[in-house]
Amino acid sequence: MRKFGIIGVGHVGVTVAYTLVTKGIADELVLIDKKEDKAISEQLDLQDAQARLDTSTIIKIQDYSELKDADILFLTAGKVDAAKETGSRWAEFEYTNAIVKEVAPKIKASGFNGVVIDTTNPCDAITQYLQKSAGLTTTQVMGTGTFLDTARMQRVVAEQFGANSKNITGYTLGEHGDSQFVAWSGVRVNNHPLVEFAKQQGKDLNYDDLEEEIRKGGWAVYKGKGYTSFGIATCAVKLAQAVLSDAQFECPVSCYNEEFDTYIGQPAVIGKHGVEFVNEIKLTDEEKAKLKNSAETIKEKFATM
């Protein structure tokens, strides 16, 4: 029985739920939201869809005790409008901090002992706060972090060469926020090192401009539709599937870094226990300095919680 819980069924949460149900990934799904009528309506809508699906999912709502035997729990609550004025994910901090204070004791009391995947912003700080507050291990709790920012990097780089974004490899690292950076030294296009490939193709790339486009990718989506949902929900479900199948899937997520004593976007291997291990990669001295700066940025703001 593959059982999932989702706390927060706004744009991201409901997209995760829809994906889990329509793709037949979930046998059982628990939806929890501060607005009970929202949880009820989404339950009914997803139940209506099942008469036309080849799979079935039991959908329950508003019951934390049902999380006891859940395999995976998504925290997808947030208030993206709070960031509208500043353009910073930290603008949601006060709101999402309060959410964790409310839900973490309930998660703990439920007896939940699975894997948590957090999408809530500011992702790195909230993921760490949730991990500590819910009494779970750092292995069990991860955030989507720069997994989405890396996908944006793949898209932006692919557009420069008319390539398939799936054939772009490498990482966006650090904070899921303004201090993130692309580790350009490891980016490859069709398995060719980016810098060399660009020269061969006669491309004079402005890496600062590309990085800014990647960093502001979420705001570009927000500007048109008022929120982001498809990209982040796809990342969250991909991580959940890696846990369920013990895929030993290597990707950048927000997880605990022992050196910096903080959650931060970094390469890790995801399997049945959650974060199986952090995957150390080679970085240039400049990239190491950027990672340290990003970690210090997260820690400084986390200390205000």
**Res. 98 pLDDT band, cuts 50 70 90:** very high
> What is the pLDDT averaged over residues 85-114?
87
Residue 138: closest CA among 147, 146, 130: 130
Q: Could you say which of 3.40.720.10, 1.10.760.10, 3.40.50.300, 3.40.50.720 is the CATH number of the domain covering 3-143?
A: 3.40.50.720
**Which candidate in 176, 215, 238, 290 is catalytic?**
176
Interatomic CA distance for residues 297 and 291, integer angstroms: 10
174: annotated binding-site residue?
no
Residues in the chain: 305
DSSP letter string, 146-192: HHHHHHHHHHHHHHHHT--GGGEE--EEB-SSTT-EE-GGG-EETTE
10: annotated binding-site residue?
yes
The fraction of the chain above a pLDDT of 90, given in percent, is: 89
Interatomic CA distance for residues 151 and 166, integer angstroms: 9
8: annotated binding-site residue?
yes
Q: What is the pLDDT of residue 245?
A: 98
Summary mean pLDDT of the chain: 95
Q: Which two tokens stand for residue 45?
A: 């809508």
Prior bond of 122 cis (ω within 30°): yes
pLDDT per residue as tens digits for the range 274-287: 999 999 999 999 99
pLDDT at 37 exceeding the cut of 90: yes
273: annotated binding-site residue?
no
pLDDT at 159 exceeding the cut of 70: yes
> What is the pLDDT averaged over residues 261-283?
97
182: annotated binding-site residue?
no
| C-alpha triplet 221, 223, 225: angle, nearest 5° | 65
The partner residues of 270 in beta bridges, in order of sequence, read 249, 275
Residue 119: closest CA among 98, 100, 138: 100
pLDDT at 305 exceeding the cut of 80: no
192 flagged as catalytic: no
> What is the pLDDT averaged over residues 73-100?
80
> What is the pLDDT averaged over residues 10-36?
98
Q: Provide CATH 3.90.110.10 ranges for the chain.
A: 146-302
- Structural contact between residues 41 and 78, judged by C-beta atoms closer than 8 angstroms: no
Q: What is the pLDDT of residue 91?
A: 77
pLDDT per residue as tens digits for the range 210-220: 999 999 998 89
Identify the helix (H) or strand (E) that includes residue 17.
Answer: helix 11-22
**Res. 82 pLDDT band, cuts 50 70 90:** low
Q: Provide CATH 3.40.50.720 ranges for the chain.
A: 3-143
31-45, 87-101, 117-131: the lowest-pLDDT one: 87-101
Domain 146-302 top-level CATH class: alpha beta
